[in-house]
Amino acid sequence: MLFVIKLSPSQSWDLTGGRRARRQRTRTRKRGESMRYMLLLYSAEGAGPAEGSSEQAAEMQRWFAYTQELADAGVLLGGEPLHPISTATTVQVSEGSTVTTDGPFAETKEVLGGFYMIDVDDLDAATGWAAKVPTAFYGSVEVRPVLEIGELS
């Protein structure tokens, strides 16, 4: 089962606003400045604790605790769980026509189940946080640096 987190009001973040604020601050990254990383949480569906099991309750607590830890450390920009892959729809535009298909972009055993966006000093800090995500214990966490728009020039 995929993880489910309801962010409490104090735990919700305005991603768009955050990004806009940041974009003004950083055009090009400078030394010593923090970086945004996306933690992409992948696991095989059904790899986590079974629904309704006592492990699931404990798992939920781990998610809450982890999210709170990120927030307390002041590095959390946002994060959401996603519905199972069975709800996915894939869209492609080819030669002017939109092709909409049921299912994920690629059939893989491990699927994207959610994400966190964090703001930390460097890759070591990001991988350090990634190693604490509950998914890391039964799936994997992909750490991707965010491409700041200012870098594109």
User: Which of 37, 40, 25, 38 has its CA nearest to residue 122?
Assistant: 37
Helix (H, G, I), strand (E, B) or coil at 13: coil
**40, 142 Cβ separation under 8 angstroms:** yes
122 binds another protein (CB under 8 A): yes
**72 binds another protein, rule: CB under 8 A:** no
With CB under 8 A as the contact rule, the residue among 10, 17, 24, 30 that binds another protein is 30
Kindly write out the interface string for residues 36-65 of this chain, putting x where it contacts another protein by CB under 8 A and - elsewhere.
------------------------------
- Per CB under 8 A, contacts with another protein among 127-146 are 127, 143-145
Residue 131 CB, nearest distance to another protein (Å)?
Answer: 11
Q: Is 152 in the site for another protein (CB under 8 A)?
A: no
Tokens of 31: 């030394």
User: From the CB of 105, what's the least distance to another protein, in Å?
Assistant: 23
Write the burial class of residue 9 (CB in 10 Å: 0-12 exposed, 13-18 middle, 19+ buried). exposed
For residue 131, which of 121, 122, 120, 142 has the smallest C-alpha distance? 142
Which range binds another protein by CB under 8 A, 31-39, 89-97, 100-108, 111-119?
Answer: 31-39
